[in-house]
């Protein structure tokens, strides 16, 4: 029996791990975006929150050919949620 998992990747951790990410993708696991530097996304866009997501999406795309359709976000009180 095969199980598919969700992996939320930080962009800063992708370099040097491309083969692992390719394998995750090839095996059908869901690859999500967990920002580039693990920032709090409730911060102002002026502080680069949007860039954190875009930069990671681009890095994952370069490896897999797909842009993640899901990302992890944290609210101001530290609670986690999903963004589709």
Tell me the per-residue pLDDT of 11-34, one tens digit each, with 9 for 90 and over: 999 999 999 999 999 999 999 999
pLDDT at 21: 98
Query: Are 26 and 68 spatial neighbours (Cβ–Cβ below 8 Å)?
Result: no
Please classify residue 20 by burial: count the beta carbons closer than 10 Å to its beta carbon, then call 0-12 exposed, 13-18 middle and 19+ buried.
middle
pTM for the full model? 0.80
pLDDT at 65: 98
Tell me the per-residue pLDDT of 35-70, one tens digit each, with 9 for 90 and over: 898 876 665 455 667 888 899 999 999 999 999 988
């Amino acid at each position: 029996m095969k199980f598919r998992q969700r992996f939320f990747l930080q962009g800063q951790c992708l370099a040097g791990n491309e083969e692992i990410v390719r394998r995750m993708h090839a095996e059908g696991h869901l690859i999500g975006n967990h920002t580039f530097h693990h920032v709090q996304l409730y911060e102002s866009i002026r502080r680069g929150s949007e860039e954190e997501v875009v930069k990671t999406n681009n890095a994952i795309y370069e490896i897999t050919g797909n842009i993640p359709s899901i990302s992890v976000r944290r609210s101001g009180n530290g609670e986690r949620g999903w963004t589709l």
